[in-house]
């Protein structure tokens, strides 16, 4: 897909994967609408990229229905079209399910699943009017199998994956590409600022950079792939543990030991 002069909306666009994705689209000449809660961080990334392309920002809570409506209105007003939606904003509270406050569980579902559903519904008519485009969701390997200690997060990402595949079938033959990238741990503050709170199982998988995930997002916009897992080992392990839960339970102790070693190494590196 040629991105020059296309309009791309990116939620969670102020840092991490969202900012890395914005940089790639800016290099490709796309017009950007960057969304996040914090206006200051949005202004910083916008200022960085404005010498490459047009950038507008919209500070909002993505789980607010009215704000979602206003976001699409602003994107259409500023650029005259909407071509691509990247649902990247995420929320995660790491704790045992029974000890997690109900409001935290609700926020996880609101940000990770409710918001993408609303924004996708609102974006589809605009993308169709523009002649077609793409809606790409940033999921997780947790959405492909069960991850103890991340129940609501895993459920929300499984729902996001289901949204992607179901819409692809419901709108098959249409002019919108639906895709999802499913990474394991990513080297961003999303988990790296809470290493101790992140389960050892998570760190048993290869750690991706924000740039690697961003490239997968860009690639999904224009190829025939429905889901890009990161990495191959993660795709195989999550598929096996989902289809055959006993395999997951059998190898989990080994994976947790591996993750503990990786976690200890990461913590030691950050002290140096």
Name the residue among 245, 82, 98, 261 with its Cα closest to residue 176. 82
Separation of first and last alpha carbons in the chain: 43
Q: Which residues are catalytic?
A: 153
Contact 242, 144 (CB under 8 A): yes
């Amino acid at each position: 897909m040629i991105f020059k002069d296309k309009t791309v909306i990116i939620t969670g666009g102020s840092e991490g994967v969202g900012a890395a994705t914005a940089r790639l689209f800016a290099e490709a000449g796309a017009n950007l609408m960057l969304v996040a809660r914090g206006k200051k961080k949005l202004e910083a990334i916008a200022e960085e990229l404005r010498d490459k392309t047009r950038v507008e920002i919209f500070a909002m809570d993505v789980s607010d229905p009215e704000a979602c409506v206003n976001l699409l209105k602003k994107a259409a007003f500023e650029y005259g079209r909407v071509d691509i939606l990247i649902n990247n904003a995420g929320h995660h509270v790491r704790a045992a399910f029974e000890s997690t406050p109900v409001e935290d569980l609700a926020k996880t579902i609101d940000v990770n699943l409710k918001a993408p559903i609303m924004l996708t519904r609102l974006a589809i008519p605009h993308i169709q009017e523009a002649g077609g485009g793409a809606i790409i969701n940033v999921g997780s390997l947790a959405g492909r199998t069960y991850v103890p200690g991340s129940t609501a997060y895993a459920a929300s990402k499984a729902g996001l994956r289901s949204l992607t595949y179901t819409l692809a079938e419901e709108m098959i033959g249409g002019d919108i590409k639906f895709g999802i990238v499913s990474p394991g741990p990513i080297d961003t503050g999303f988990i790296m600022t809470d290493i101790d709170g992140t389960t050892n199982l998570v760190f048993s998988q290869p750690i991706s950079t924000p740039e690697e995930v961003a490239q997968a997002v860009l690639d999904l916009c224009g190829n025939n792939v429905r889901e890009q897992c990161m990495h191959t080992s993660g795709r195989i392990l999550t598929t096996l543990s989902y289809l055959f839960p006993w395999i997951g339970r059998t190898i989990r102790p080994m994976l947790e030991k591996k993750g503990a070693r990786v976690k200890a190494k990461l913590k030691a590196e950050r002290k140096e």
